[in-house]
Structure 1
Amino acid sequence: MSSEKEYSAEQLEAGRLLFARPWEFITSVKEMHQLPVLDGIEIAFAGRSNVGKSSLINKLTGKKALARTSNTPGRTQMLNFFGAEHSMLKIVDMPGYGYAEAPKGMVDAWTSLIFDYLRGRSTLRRVFSLIDSRHGIKKNDLDAMAILDKAAVPYQVVLTKADKLKPGQLQRMKEETLKVLAKRPAAHPEVIATSSEKGLGMDDLRAEIAQLVSYG
């Protein structure tokens, strides 16, 4: 496995164009029967509560308040769908996991919804699994990856808040992450380090997503 991927100027431009259009909220889904019609291509973002998921989606799309950000972990309790006009791509913001204060029944309902969505969504091309680069992969991240492995859904780790680490620390975190992913059957063999605050890695992430769209 390698931690770095070089994107060509064409790939970076394709990513820029994909996210240059206006992105809008489509719908929130609490139960499977509410899911939008299978159409186009979907990517999903998953991660622990307070990993910076909403901030990353907002930075990615260039729209400050597209995904709700909150200092209260666990606020995203549904599958939230976003799209752009004349684009076959839809972004899915998945419920944050690992929020211990949420009632057990609610957590179980989230888990059931997520697994049913992952297992039955033929339009889903990849889940981007967000990991806080300061803390690395935790047990509940591994639990989430086990669900993805079981559902046979490809996923790729995106490290968040990478600006908080020194270059040497970040490189070590990438290497440690890749060692864990090498043992996971559905894991993508590269990681992308990002910072929603500084914009680090956003061009690479857009380019990676654009490739998923172009390959269908």
Structure 2
Amino acid sequence: MNHSLELVKTIFEINQLEPMEAPQVALAGRSNVGKSSLVNCLAGRKALARISSTPGKTRSLNFYLVHPEQFYLVDLPGYGYARTSKTERAKWGRLIESYIRDSQHLCAVAVLLDGRLPPQKIDLELIAYLKAASIRLIPVLTKVDKCKQKDLAKRGNEWKELLGSNIPVHFSSKTGRGREKLWNRLVEAVIPNP
């Protein structure tokens, strides 16, 4: 099935948060994990989400309406490394936490994990937070085109030990690997047994 994305709302401050009356799946990940590239790959467009060589370009919650299913993909600011002040990062953290805690329509969070790196403490903390809040988790290993097969298998096994049967989608924005599989997981999260 062909899907398209339309940017409908951008939120920079907690007081701008308002109910968006449709199911939602959030995209979360470290500042340099490739979220904007993933959004563009899913959309089949090169410049829907702004990409930069400087980590931390996404500084807002970006609500993309998915057609034809009519749910929102919500791109969250990256966490961890970013060339911004601690005050700015703390503000993003409060915005993200407020959204995740208070959204009535959040069905799942797709957690983007760099396929080149072993499990990182900051990613494990987010996963623990989501599990404690009983929020469905969709793990996605990004940048798999930059991994040797042996290293990718090792990463997969490490995450399998941590996540059990919730096997990460192997994704490459460059080659499109995992694109359809990820779309299927996103749609399943908002429309059970389509």
User: Does TM, normalized by the shorter one, top 0.5?
Assistant: yes
Structure 2: runs of 5+ lacking an equivalent: none
Question: Which of 84, 88, 96 is residue 114 of structure 1 equivalent to?
Answer: 96
**Residue 198 of structure 1 aligns with which residue?**
175
**Residue 148 of structure 2 aligns with which residue?**
166
Contact 1:119–1:152, Cα closer than 8 Å, also in 2 = no
| RMSD over aligned Cα atoms | 1.9
**Residue 33 of structure 1 aligns with which residue?**
15
Structure 2 residue 56 is the aligned partner of structure 1 residue 67: no
Q: CA deviation at 1:119?
A: 1.0
Structure 1: runs of 5+ lacking an equivalent: 1-15, 183-187
Secondary structure of 2:173's partner?
coil
Poorly superposed stretches of 4+, deviation over 4 Å: none
**Residue 48 of structure 1 aligns with which residue?**
30
Contact 2:55–2:83, Cα closer than 8 Å, also in 1 = no
- Partner amino acid, structure 2, of 1:190: I
Secondary structure of 1:196's partner?
coil
Q: CA deviation at 1:33?
A: 3.2
Structure 2 residue 154 is the aligned partner of structure 1 residue 181: no
TM-score normalised per structure 2: 0.90
**Residue 9 of structure 1 aligns with which residue?**
none
TM-score normalised per structure 1: 0.82
Q: CA deviation at 1:152?
A: 2.9
Structure 2 residue 129 is the aligned partner of structure 1 residue 147: yes
Larger RCO, structures 1/2 (Cα 8 Å, 6+ apart): 1
Q: CA deviation at 1:50?
A: 1.3
Q: CA deviation at 1:64?
A: 1.3
Q: CA deviation at 1:52?
A: 0.7
Cα-to-partner distance string for 1:106-131 (whole Å, 9 max, x where unaligned)? 11111111111111112111111111
Question: Which of 95, 98, 108 is residue 80 of structure 2 equivalent to?
Answer: 98
* Seq. identity, %: 38
- Partner amino acid, structure 2, of 1:202: R
- Partner amino acid, structure 1, of 2:191: S
Secondary structure of 1:215's partner?
coil
